A and B are shown apart, each in its own frame.
Chain A
């Protein structure tokens, strides 16, 4: 499968605390190297690829860095280091601020978690869907209206609803507007940031089935970010598990959920409530995660919370190693 998106050694660090302000920067410049500054390692040395037509899931809990990763990927933020390659082009070379005007902007689009928040309350549904078409495809007048209607129909949004404002639409309808806006420009890669988290379960079914159909018809790849493992299991071909900025496991979705290899994935899978309680071992994670600020590069991020833990885990950071044809794990025990 040819890779559509190739991420290599992507890292994003944010300075924290007093040092982040102007006085701090001044002090720093006097002190010498920026390495003295405490940083949050939101995304740390992440590498993966998404193939054409693939749906890759990204799971992890709050604070694991998936939001930051997604924003760097979609070029809303600049990475601290690393490469983002879309097809043959290296996107990381263009600054995020300038990317809005880049010809490739339309190739990566995003559907947000809270559709209500991601649509301007003063825009009608039509305006919201039309905005990227105006800016990125330079459409206007009749051509614009036709394309907006096409996008709305693709997403099962009745045309009369286009004149409504977001607060006049139901949660499911707003979700459809968000999706129509993103697919209107026919992107190659669609990043979905928990698109069904705020929806009722019956609406969620419809939206998930819609997403699957759209992907096939428009030939897109998906990066599906979610904390709901049951949904990821149904929709995704492959899944990446993130913890504190690093990828700890990856592989085919079914395989990862049926037999997780990394202790964190095991705890995650064990915690998901199942309709039929199969008496699965209650693996409980106690305590709080390690601090993401200036973490020790030699200690596994999961050490301390992990039910296993040996001296090796304190001595060297486990790297993502291949285990079999399609699975990768970052753990000394796997």
Chain B
């Protein structure tokens, strides 16, 4: 454990970009956890007198068409978007990751069935599929998470399956059999710890996608419902005002989105360096 942390510090130190990503990530987590408690102005409080005001000392990011403070809304939205991201990723790892590992390790009919399911999902344009699922089930946060998970299922299955397939013939799996481990124990205790680090990289990338997905769905009205602050819906609402010059309504949530996705992607790279045991000296 200590060795991993020391290695982590080395990786972060050597590559400043990773350091930046970690810093941003911490910022996002802090905003998600403490944001709603710390914001100066209630994100839902509307003040029509102060509507459509540009960024100023009173309202750092300006106000929107209902006079709500955009800064507070952006910060509070972090919690929702982050929750969506994490929940989607955990769900798809749990289902897709395990299905993939089982398919790759056991092969046979399990592999074929899981493969067909993944192929079927991949046959659809992914966003259209997400739209369809949310439209059918109703646009709640839970359904957005489920839709994102389903849409990412094939990717996780593919990665997990490939990694498990390689490990299946590895010497240590045979050694584990000789040591009295049954198949299930081998998958859980021998193969999974080796596949997990690779999945972690995939997971951090998917987090960025999950947020974008939610934002996209919100943009077309299939996401969260107003007045809930969420970056996507804020961009959607603000886009109409771009033409008339009130750029700040869409800009700040859009920037937050961009920074978050950027951070998760960079984190993925850094994480891979940290968790791959072969890169440790």
**Chain A residues within CB distance 8 Å of chain B:** 71, 74, 76, 97, 100-101, 105-106, 109-110, 112, 114, 117-123, 131-132, 135-136, 165, 167-168, 178, 181-182
Contact = CB atoms under 8 A, between A and B. Distances in A.
A132 B172 contact: no
A120 B193 contact: yes
A18 B242 CA distance: 63
A105 B178 contact: yes
B175 A181 contact: yes
A76 B278 contact: no
Interface centre among A97, A100, A106 (most CB of B within 10 A): A100
A76 B178 contact: yes
Given A100-B182, A131-B176, A167-B277, A121 B194 contact: yes
Contacts of A97: 183
B280 interface: yes
B180 interface: yes
A119 B280 CA distance: 17
29 contacts: A74-B178, A76-B177, A97-B183, A100-B180, A101-B182, A106-B180, A110-B178, A112-B175, A114-B171, A117-B172, A118-B174, A119-B172, A119-B175, A120-B172, A120-B190, A120-B194, A121-B172, A121-B194, A121-B278, A122-B277, A131-B176, A131-B181, A132-B180, A136-B179, A165-B277, A165-B280, A167-B278, A181-B175, A182-B178
A199 B59 CA distance: 70
Interface in B157-185: 170-172, 174-183, 185
Interface of B: 170-172, 174-183, 185, 190, 193-194, 277-278, 280
Contacts of B183: 97
Contact of A131 (B179, B182, B194): B179
B175 A135 contact: no
A167 B280 contact: yes
B194 A136 contact: no
B112 to A, nearest CB: 9
A122 B193 contact: yes
Contact of B171 (A101, A105, A118, A131): A118
Nearest to A182: B178
Given A121-B194, A122-B193, 13 more contacts: A71-B174, A74-B178, A76-B178, A100-B177, A101-B180, A110-B174, A110-B178, A121-B277, A131-B179, A131-B181, A135-B185, A167-B277, A181-B175
A118 B175 CA distance: 6
Contact of B179 (A112, A114, A181): A181
Contacts of B194: 120-122
A100 B174 CA distance: 11
Contacts of B185: 135
Contact of A136 (B170, B171, B180): B180
Contacts of B175: 110, 112, 118-119, 178, 181
Given A122-B193, A131-B181, A76 B174 contact: yes
Given A122-B193, A167-B278, A112 B176 contact: no
Nearest to B277: A121
Interface centre among A97, A122, A165 (most CB of B within 10 A): A122
B179 A135 contact: yes
Contacts of A74: 178
Contacts of A71: 174
A207 B246 CA distance: 77
Contacts of B181: 100, 131, 135
A216 B36 CA distance: 72
Contacts of A105: 178, 180
* Complex A-B, nearest 4 residue pairs according to Cβ-Cβ distance, in ascending order: A118-B171, A135-B180, A132-B179, A117-B171
